Amino acid sequence: MVNPLYIVAILLGTGFLLPLISKAGRRVALTVFFMSLIAVSAISYQWLWSFLFDGQAPAMFYTAGVEPPLSINFLLGFKEAIFITAVNLIAVVGAIYMSTQIKETGYKAMILFLLMVLGLNGLILTADIFNLFVFLEITSIATFSLVGMDLKLNSLTGGLKYMIAGGLASVFLLLGIIILYSLTGTLGIESMSQYVLNVDNVKLLSIGSFLLIFSFIIEMKQFPSNGWAIDAYDGVNPGITGLASATGTAAVFYSLYKIMPIVSDEILSMIIFIGSLTFVVSNLMGLMQTSPRRMLGYSSVAQMGLVMAAAAWSVFSQNEGLFFAAVLPLLLNHFFAKAGLFWITGIIKKNDYRKWGVIRENKVLLGIFIVMVLALTGMPPFPGFWGKWNLVLDLSANFEFFWIFIILLGSLFEAGYMLKWLGVTLKKTYEKDIVAYDSYKVLAIEIVNIMLLIVSFYYFFRQNHTHMGYYLPYTAGLALLGLRFLPEKIKGVLSLASIFLYGYLFLTHQSGFPLFFNAMFVFGAFVLTIATLNRKKKSSTFYGLLMLMIGSLIALVNAENILNFFISWEIMTVTSYLLIHRGRDSEKESFSYIMFSLGGAFLILMGFALAYSENPQALGYGIFSIANENSMTAFILISLGFLIKTAALGVHIWIAGAYSKAEDDVTPFISALLSKAGIFGFVMLLLTMGIPRTEYIDLAYILSWIGALTALIGTMMAIHEENAKRLLAYSSMGQVGYIILALSIMSGLGWTAAMFQMINHFLIKGVLFLAIAGVIFRTGTADMYKMGGLIKKMPWSFTAVMFGIIAISGVPPLTGFGAKWLLYEALIEKGWYLQTGAAFFASTVAFLYCFRLIHAIFLGQPKNEFRNVKEAPAWFIVPQYILIMVIFLFSVFPKLLIEQITRIVEPVFGQGVTWTDGTAYTSLGYWNGTTVMIIVGTIFVVLTAGLLIKMPKIQKVKQFNIVFSAERPETPELTHFAYEFFRPYRRALGWMIAPYAKNFWAAVSEWTYTISDSLRKIYTGNTQTYIFYILMMSVVLFYVTVGVK
């Protein structure tokens, strides 16, 4: 093994020699410069390798053959190896990124760069606190000098602020060091942590350790002592910022971590508090940012707060494992993603995130950008996800629920601005601009990206608690993302084939509810994907994302523990967000979708954590069945998360926007399939946990009212929509409300109704959204009043919509009636009469939007501009009729479906429906779908035949052959009554749909932004203000941690 002292020797030696070498030419100097960096990396890598695979033991290295404190000594263990490897790697990559700059500035820049790397390595390796100071200063001076080479005003201002704050930090550090030394007589960190136990002067000891830690709090840029840091991130050359935000903070963090064992629990608690506070507050302030670099600055600061708090927590709770499970992935996530993103800001030199669309011209950079933003928002499979997950579970095992809340709140804020940036970048039109995509810069970023992915997959497999079969559904999507260069049709066919293959090979191995849901997902995905084959425009990612989303749905069902469930949930959220985001003008709507979805996901995670806390060894769903004092809260949180996904009343405001703005052939997936994910979540939760109740609160009753009111209000809102997709979106909201209502009954009949209604809704919304997609494809508008009379042009679409609305409104003889029948019987059986009334009201109101949908589009007067439209393409028609055939099958033989449902529901709740021949019996009534169909069919045929016989010849008339108050109308625009169709209804019952929820969430959002805006004003830009904050913070924290005793 190479002695790590050679790291110092190589860097220092090269640094000294460079002025000489540069005489031989810049190229030579640059080569030597890079070689020394690579050599250093190689040394660290070699150490890491032997720690990983050869069982290397930690080693101590002394200089000058003298024991400390008279010499420098290094400690190189596994953690140190990881850190120096990462730092040296980024150093090489950063040097590549800045190579032009370095070459231009000459050997001075190289020396400074090498010194900086030296300082970073020393910070990580040193085993005594004084050299900590020395290396910190070496790093700082080298970094400041590098900053100063860029002669821009902002760079210099930022640098000066940085230096003044750094100078103050050094003062605190030195004071702390000398006090600790005077008390313990040692500078070695390890021996000091032993000696502090024997110190008599506890007061002085705590002052010393406070000062030591406080200097690191400044160096770690914690709130509110961090204004200078954010300004520096903003102003300084992004090459250096990326390097500093990654390597600098990592090294400083690690040295802080090293000294944590010295300090007392009070101070550790203070670190946890300050770190968490910084995480939340900085992310909150980030919300108002428009400059990407400043956003990244706030995010960096926040991430460091989180990492620091997590590390302090792991020391506080003496949980060494947590360092590797949570702290390290959080740090590495930040490390690679921040470096990469800062460097990207150095290429796309736009100071306003709304102008970042230009990055779309470079697909490689765009891909990396997306990956890194998602990594920063903590999505699986990136390390940040694993870090947060493990941290949350560990906190939950220790009943620290408040901190979980804080972490999740901060993460939500962070996702807020990061995704806003991503969303705008992906969509917004941009001014053409020449951007220099220097290949070496892109290469550097690409290397960082690959490292991020490697770490992601390392943690992915390290954490893998389940059989690989769980991950199988994702493979198609990933493969299609890889094969993105293929023509669209081929990708579409491949998607169909993969869905079919999955269904054929794996569906048979399942049973019970998973089989039921997966059968729906697989069949639905297959049928709905047919419509996407109509796509003409080339898109590299569409099928990949679509298959990932479908895969996540299937994986959600396959999941056997909360981890897999949550991973699927997150992947589903992200992929559906990206899919919805593809739609035209969808930025606002998809943003609202992702924020609600993420909020829901975090509520679910919080609930999981609560349930997990009582049984912290297992991740299986079994944890829900153990009743404890937290069960009720856990249930409420988890179900709130699911309710958001199903767009229950109060959290529904995203639904119309998201559904209507998504591409037309994507909306069917979202409505027909994705909304069922929330239902599956409920099924899983209710099966394992039941519905908890106390003496005073019956959650089942509350849930039933949520379902009933969602159904009623959703329907009420649907009837006043002018846009067909918005109308159907609210209709979906209402229909899913019925499912929740039925699930809350918790009886055999209730669940039969729920499952029946779910299948019914899946089939119908598939048909309706596809039909509307076909119409929009031909007419180019979703506004219903702009159409009219399309029945003659699009008879197939019309017929499909007609069957759809008959089925959805619950009119016999189609399946919708079965769903309503089961629901009402179950509700009356349960004794929930008022909910029955509300559901009934909702179902009659549904007639209004059903009629409106079909009338405004297909009936009435045709408009001039659509006189020549054709029937929708067969790609849309075929899947509609496949679904209609299934609807008819289940209408004529409801027994086929109900028996399957009974088979899975019966083991849990007992039989809800009994059968005599084809007649279904409940405890209240009976229904025979077959005879109803026969009777209705017969009457219909007889009457049709009668009319045909009586009037064999009938005269067809032209468009305006009507009597319009004895006048012959000429303008179809004036004759088609469709706009504000139900205005009297709104006048009478409009109060029911007053936008309370919308106003509420608008207020929440506005308040959040207002708070964010006023908070960030504390960073006035005046250096003296920042000095004041630092000093005030030292006083306040001193009194809190030390002065109290």
Residue 965 interacting with other proteins (CB under 8 A): yes
Q: Which is nearer to other proteins, 583 or 894 (CB)?
A: 894
Helix (H, G, I), strand (E, B) or coil at 673: helix
Q: Of the ranges 395-403, 867-875, 896-904, 970-978, which one interacts with other proteins (CB under 8 A)?
A: 970-978
Q: Of the ranges 99-107, 672-680, 812-820, 863-871, which one interacts with other proteins (CB under 8 A)?
A: 812-820
Minimum separation from the CB atom of position 739 to other proteins (A): 18
Residue 744 interacting with other proteins (CB under 8 A): no
Q: How many CB atoms lie within 10 A of CB 962?
A: 11
Q: Of the ranges 78-86, 227-235, 272-280, 308-316, which one interacts with other proteins (CB under 8 A)?
A: 227-235
CB distance 760 to 823 below 8 Å: no
Please select the residue that binds other proteins; options are 8, 74, 88, 234, rule is CB under 8 A: 234
Residue 167 interacting with other proteins (CB under 8 A): yes
Q: Which of residues 183-202 bind other proteins (CB under 8 A)?
A: 187
Q: Which is nearer to other proteins, 432 or 950 (CB)?
A: 950
Minimum separation from the CB atom of position 631 to other proteins (A): 28
Minimum separation from the CB atom of position 976 to other proteins (A): 7
Q: Which of residues 310-369 bind other proteins (CB under 8 A)?
A: none
Please select the residue that binds other proteins; options are 57, 468, 963, 994, rule is CB under 8 A: 963
Q: Which is nearer to other proteins, 234 or 400 (CB)?
A: 234
Say how many residues touch other proteins, by CB under 8 A.
Answer: 128
Q: Which is nearer to other proteins, 99 or 835 (CB)?
A: 835
Residue 925 interacting with other proteins (CB under 8 A): yes
Please select the residue that binds other proteins; options are 113, 214, 459, 817, rule is CB under 8 A: 817
Nearest by Cα to 78 from 108, 54, 56, 102: 56
Residue 841 interacting with other proteins (CB under 8 A): yes
Residue 145 interacting with other proteins (CB under 8 A): yes
Q: What is the DSSP letter of 561?
A: B
- Ramachandran region of residue 902, left (φ > 0), alpha (ψ -120 to 50) or beta? alpha
Q: Which of residues 974-1003 bind other proteins (CB under 8 A)?
A: 975-978, 981-982, 984-985, 987-989
Q: Of the ranges 169-177, 246-254, 489-497, 565-573, which one interacts with other proteins (CB under 8 A)?
A: 169-177
**H/E element holding 59?**
strand 59-62
Q: Which is nearer to other proteins, 751 or 785 (CB)?
A: 785
- Distance, CA of 531 to CA of 665 (rounded, Å): 7
Minimum separation from the CB atom of position 302 to other proteins (A): 16
Q: Which of residues 245-274 bind other proteins (CB under 8 A)?
A: none
Q: How many CB atoms lie within 10 A of CB 693?
A: 14
Q: Which is nearer to other proteins, 308 or 1037 (CB)?
A: 1037
Q: Of the ranges 177-185, 396-404, 505-513, 674-682, which one interacts with other proteins (CB under 8 A)?
A: 177-185
Helix (H, G, I), strand (E, B) or coil at 61: strand
**H/E element holding 608?**
helix 587-613
Residue 891 burial (C-beta neighbours within 10 Å; 0-12, 13-18, 19+) = buried
Mapping DSSP onto H, E and C, the string for 376-391 reads HCCCCCCHHHHHHHHH
Residue 113 interacting with other proteins (CB under 8 A): no
Please select the residue that binds other proteins; options are 369, 565, 821, 875, rule is CB under 8 A: 821
Residue 154 interacting with other proteins (CB under 8 A): yes
CB distance 318 to 398 below 8 Å: no
Q: Of the ranges 14-22, 47-55, 118-126, 787-795, which one interacts with other proteins (CB under 8 A)?
A: 787-795
Q: Which of residues 24-83 bind other proteins (CB under 8 A)?
A: 69
CB distance 44 to 88 below 8 Å: yes
Q: What is the DSSP letter of 261?
A: G
Please select the residue that binds other proteins; options are 174, 199, 472, 878, rule is CB under 8 A: 174
Residue 1021 interacting with other proteins (CB under 8 A): yes
Q: Which of residues 861-900 bind other proteins (CB under 8 A)?
A: 861
CB distance 790 to 866 below 8 Å: yes
Would you give the binding string for other proteins spanning residues 114-133, x where CB under 8 A is met?
----------------x--x
Phi and psi of 188, rounded to 5°?
A: -65, 135
Characterize 241-279 residue by residue with b for buried, 16 or more Cβ atoms within 10 angstroms of its Cβ, and e for exposed. Answer: bbbbbbbbbbbbbbbbbbbbebbbeebbebbbbbbbbbb
Residue 421 interacting with other proteins (CB under 8 A): no
Please select the residue that binds other proteins; options are 791, 794, 807, 826, rule is CB under 8 A: 791
Please select the residue that binds other proteins; options are 261, 837, 873, 1043, rule is CB under 8 A: 837
- Distance, CA of 461 to CA of 393 (rounded, Å): 18
Q: What is the DSSP letter of 990?
A: G
Q: Which is nearer to other proteins, 3 or 864 (CB)?
A: 864
CB distance 640 to 608 below 8 Å: no
Please select the residue that binds other proteins; options are 37, 72, 168, 169, rule is CB under 8 A: 168
Phi and psi of 333, rounded to 5°?
A: -55, -50
Please select the residue that binds other proteins; options are 160, 330, 728, 743, rule is CB under 8 A: 160
Residue 141 interacting with other proteins (CB under 8 A): yes
Characterize 69-105 residue by residue with b for buried, 16 or more Cβ atoms within 10 angstroms of its Cβ, and e for exposed. Answer: beebbbbbebbbbbbbbbbbbbbbbbbbbbbebbbeb
Q: Which is nearer to other proteins, 321 or 1021 (CB)?
A: 1021
Minimum separation from the CB atom of position 961 to other proteins (A): 7
Phi and psi of 62, rounded to 5°?
A: -115, 145
Identity of residue 343: W
Residue 851 interacting with other proteins (CB under 8 A): yes
Identity of residue 423: G
Q: Which is nearer to other proteins, 77 or 148 (CB)?
A: 148
CB distance 559 to 688 below 8 Å: no
CB distance 161 to 1023 below 8 Å: yes
Q: Which two tokens stand for residue 155?
A: 């760079």
